[in-house]
Chains A and B, each alone.
Chain A
Amino acid sequence: MRHLANTWFAERLGDSGIRTIYLADHHPAHMPCLEIMRLDWLRAAEQARRLEMRFVAVWAAGAGCHDQDRGARHGLYAYMAFAHPEHCHALLRTPLADENPSLPSIAGEFVAASRMERHMADMFGITIEAAPDARPWIRHEHWPRGAHPLRDDFDGKNPMPPCPCSGDYDFVRSASSGVYEIPVGPVHAGIIEPGHFRFLAVGEQILNMEERLGYVHKGIERAMQGRDAASGAKLAARISGDSAVAHAWAFAQASEYAAGIKPPRRASLIRGILCERERMANHIGDIGAICNDAAFAFMHMQMQRLREDMARLHQEIFGHRLLFDTIVPGGVTVDLGEAQLARLERQTRAIAAEVEHLRSIYADHPSIQERVIGSGVVSVDDARDIGLLGFAGRASGNYPDARIEEAYPPYDELKVHVAEGKSGDVATRVWVRFEEIADSARLIGEMVERMPDGPIAAEWTPPEPGVSGFAAIEGWRGEIAAWVRFGEKGLIDRYFVRDPSVINWLGLELAVREVPVPDFPLNNKSFNCSYSGNDL
């Protein structure tokens, strides 16, 4: 599976005088990694913006085996990734100084980079120059000063010493006496993930909502280091429980690219079925929950029932309700017999038909329509500026879909329909979800039909030390970008993953600027970003 090297971005950068070095130890070739000088970092981001590329992620990593072979001039590298609808993803990296590493902020070009840069600053102690927001992000106040968990000298085995301090996070404030603050969370009245929301409100009207996340930081990135690929896939499936398939797939595909392994076609199709089932189940559950937030409990109960049916069949066929540990580097773990394929296909069709029926009930109830239409609008311009992903992007006129842009197997042989919404309100996000449920059901049918005989996994042989791979997988929330680099003995040396929530959380902040306070939960649920995937 050696693709032609993708030189498009390197040529464009060359046109504007930025020298790039193609890194041969990065795969796949159609998503190349280019090394640039640190001086060119900001200009490269400007170029990417001018080329109308989509910002994917920015992250840092210590030097890999190959970098050390070259004389270990640098201990730390910064990476950023962009995507173009026609020219795939491209990665750029630059070496950072060993002493007091610093990096210019690209948040001026791409707003979504700001939180990722704060994450880098927290985890590596990198100084971000001219950062629009220099507050810590994942590193909460009780972490000891100077604790940067992804640095090599950080002791990852023992708990950090307790640091007595009070929360002094500098929230956005208002000087006006008519504006009051509403702190919500991280402990909520319902059983949901922890996150803190700080509202500035006048009466019942929200002026500004600010998110404070990081309460479910589990140290995933650090925990990945030193694992072999099989155990890495297990951990990846647990990054965000509702995206177990997509996260495991992103990890597996990045590893496979690095190792030069092509999973058998049967495995790819099974992965596709798993991922589309996950998409259906989550959209179904969320549509019900959105209606429940507007006190339309009927829909919630019906959708819960359908979701439960799916989970039970998953338990029966794949041994896990949420499809954990079904994908491993090289392939999948569960083979599907004729009978099981038929059952999956039959249930998918039945559920899609029921969802269509419920959709007509939802559409015929003015009182629920009244709530969702026009609430929480993210404009097309805003959505493109922050690069809103997945269904939230598709509701606001931004349509990136890795299944089409990358067309990784099995989507290279399937046609994915993208729902193209523009209004960007809760109703459109629900509409996109309904459309995606129908499309996923159709795709599952096609995949079952195309299922060839053959093995379900290729043999896994770890790549040589220092080789990295990058993959973008369209999970149900949107594109999951994963970058993995292997070290000695086939163990993971560094794993970076960007859950779509990292970007879509910004969309929620934009959406609720013009809604009354009690409409916030409805909007929050319509995005349903992952806390766990964001906090890692």
Chain B
Amino acid sequence: MSSLPLQIAQALLLVLLAPVAAGFVASVKARLQNRHGPGLLQPWRNLAKLFAKQVVLAENASWIFRFAPYVVFTATVMAASCVPALLVDTPLSLTADVIALVSLLALARFFLALAGMDIGTAFGGMGASREMTFSALAEPALLMSVFVLSLGAHSTNLTTMIQHTLNTPIMLQPSLAFALAAMLMIALAENGRIPVDNPTTHLELTMVHEAMILEYSGRHLALMEWASMIKLTLFATLIIDLFMPWGMVAGPDAAGLLLALVAWVLKIFGLLLALSLAETYLAKLRLFEVPEFLSMAFVIAFLGLLSHYMLEVNA
């Protein structure tokens, strides 16, 4: 088995599994609220419905508005395809750099915010302004959290970092705990989950991510929705890669791959289960407390960095 088709298969798997993962979160949350829930495949049904629907464009929508869904979707899929899910060493491993990954997501966000402002509604602009405010705080914290691990691995390349984690004996590293805590907080914010944003709200004034895509319809909306589902799975995979890569295989062998697949799916759903629990337990933060929440994530990541130097470098 050559690794290039595997690389593609892995990316496809992530993209196709993302709606199921979103359905899983919705179902678990429904169960926790004593409801049946719509089932795992509901996001897929929604996407299929949206793809079949006509696109309605605002009169004053420019090319940016029409262009943005494709840019957002492509950038997110590209980011998803360079994150190792099953195989550590892939032909594209050189591109699997965390900084590149963050930039790809930033590109998607940039176009999302532009599209939000493009149609000139109050909600689009409001959503874009909030998204930018939050991301200005979230991105440095995300990078800071990754740097904690990079310091050990001497690289920002994901493959190198995974190999480093796999090859060092398991031991308790306080810096990793800090980095993980920060990363989980950032993941909530980046994916617009409770307590930062509510993905299921219908209240325009409280929206962040939803406000920017409020005017989208048909396949445009489908691409936007799909992109955000992929992003959720992507972040879950990134957390797995950085903090718990055990089970991933170095080379393409069938049995190892199967095991890696099982491990990956289990870990993903484990993380999503934790997300569902948190989302059920928590209410949304006040808007002005979100920057504090994100600054807290930054401080935690920074503490991780410090504790790495103080406790682990000379150990």
Whether both chains belong to one complex is answered with yes
A→B interface (CB under 8 Å): 180-184, 188-191, 204, 291, 293-298, 301-302, 305, 365, 367-368, 370-371, 516-521
Tell me if B204 and A302 are in contact (CB < 8 A). no
Instruction: Determine the interface band of chain B, counting residues with CB < 8 A from chain A.
Output: 20 to 34
Complex alpha-carbon distance, A516 and B284, angstroms: 14
Tell me if A297 and B287 are in contact (CB < 8 A). no
Complex alpha-carbon distance, A367 and B289, angstroms: 12
| Residue B263 at the chain A interface, CB threshold 8 Å | no
Q: B113 to chain A: which residues have CB within 8 Å?
A: none
Tell me if B34 and A305 are in contact (CB < 8 A). yes
Complex alpha-carbon distance, A182 and B279, angstroms: 29
Tell me if A371 and B283 are in contact (CB < 8 A). yes
Tell me if B203 and A370 are in contact (CB < 8 A). no
Rounded to whole Å, the gap between the CB of A290 and the closest CB of chain B is 11
The residue from B34, B126, B204, B284 contacting A295, defined by CB atoms under 8 A apart: B284
Q: A291 to chain B: which residues have CB within 8 Å?
A: 283
- The residue of chain A having its C-beta at the shortest distance from the C-beta of B33 within the complex is A301
Complex alpha-carbon distance, A497 and B195, angstroms: 43
Q: A190 to chain B: which residues have CB within 8 Å?
A: 202-203
Complex alpha-carbon distance, A301 and B201, angstroms: 14
Complex alpha-carbon distance, A368 and B122, angstroms: 27
Q: Which 8 A-B pairs have the closest CB atoms?
A: A190-B202, A295-B284, A296-B283, A295-B198, A301-B33, A368-B283, A521-B203, A367-B283
Complex alpha-carbon distance, A116 and B222, angstroms: 47
- The residue of chain A having its C-beta at the shortest distance from the C-beta of B202 within the complex is A190
| Residue B194 at the chain A interface, CB threshold 8 Å | yes
Q: B202 to chain A: which residues have CB within 8 Å?
A: 188-191
Q: B285 to chain A: which residues have CB within 8 Å?
A: 367, 370
Tell me if B122 and A371 are in contact (CB < 8 A). no
Complex alpha-carbon distance, A407 and B202, angstroms: 41
The residue from B122, B194, B195, B206 contacting A518, defined by CB atoms under 8 A apart: B206
Residue of B32, B126, B203 contacting most chain A CB atoms (<10 Å): B203
A516 touching B288 in the complex, CB below 8 Å, given contacts A182-B126, A295-B201, A302-B34: yes
Tell me if A298 and B32 are in contact (CB < 8 A). yes
Complex alpha-carbon distance, A371 and B289, angstroms: 10
Within 8 A of A (CB), among B282-307: 282-289
| Residue B220 at the chain A interface, CB threshold 8 Å | no
Tell me if B33 and A297 are in contact (CB < 8 A). yes
Rounded to whole Å, the gap between the CB of A293 and the closest CB of chain B is 6
Tell me if A183 and B205 are in contact (CB < 8 A). no
Complex alpha-carbon distance, A181 and B281, angstroms: 35
Rounded to whole Å, the gap between the CB of B115 and the closest CB of chain A is 17
Rounded to whole Å, the gap between the CB of B284 and the closest CB of chain A is 4
Complex alpha-carbon distance, A190 and B203, angstroms: 7
Complex alpha-carbon distance, A296 and B284, angstroms: 7
Tell me if A516 and B198 are in contact (CB < 8 A). no
A-B contact pairs, 22 of them (CB 8 A): A181-B122, A182-B126, A184-B204, A189-B202, A190-B202, A190-B203, A204-B287, A204-B288, A295-B279, A295-B282, A295-B283, A297-B29, A302-B33, A365-B281, A367-B195, A368-B283, A370-B286, A370-B289, A371-B286, A516-B286, A518-B205, A520-B205
Complex alpha-carbon distance, A370 and B288, angstroms: 12
The residue from A191, A298, A517 contacting B205, defined by CB atoms under 8 A apart: A517
Within 8 A of A (CB), among B197-232: 198, 200-206, 214
Complex alpha-carbon distance, A481 and B281, angstroms: 42
Complex alpha-carbon distance, A183 and B120, angstroms: 12
Complex alpha-carbon distance, A180 and B129, angstroms: 13
Complex alpha-carbon distance, A189 and B32, angstroms: 26
The residue from B126, B194, B206 contacting A521, defined by CB atoms under 8 A apart: B206
Residue of A295, A298, A520 contacting most chain B CB atoms (<10 Å): A295
Residue of B32, B198, B280 contacting most chain A CB atoms (<10 Å): B198
Tell me if B280 and A298 are in contact (CB < 8 A). yes
Tell me if A301 and B284 are in contact (CB < 8 A). no
Tell me if B283 and A365 are in contact (CB < 8 A). yes
Residue of B32, B35, B201, B214 contacting most chain A CB atoms (<10 Å): B201
The residue from A183, A293, A305, A521 contacting B122, defined by CB atoms under 8 A apart: A183
Q: B195 to chain A: which residues have CB within 8 Å?
A: 295, 367
- The residue of chain A having its C-beta at the shortest distance from the C-beta of B29 within the complex is A297
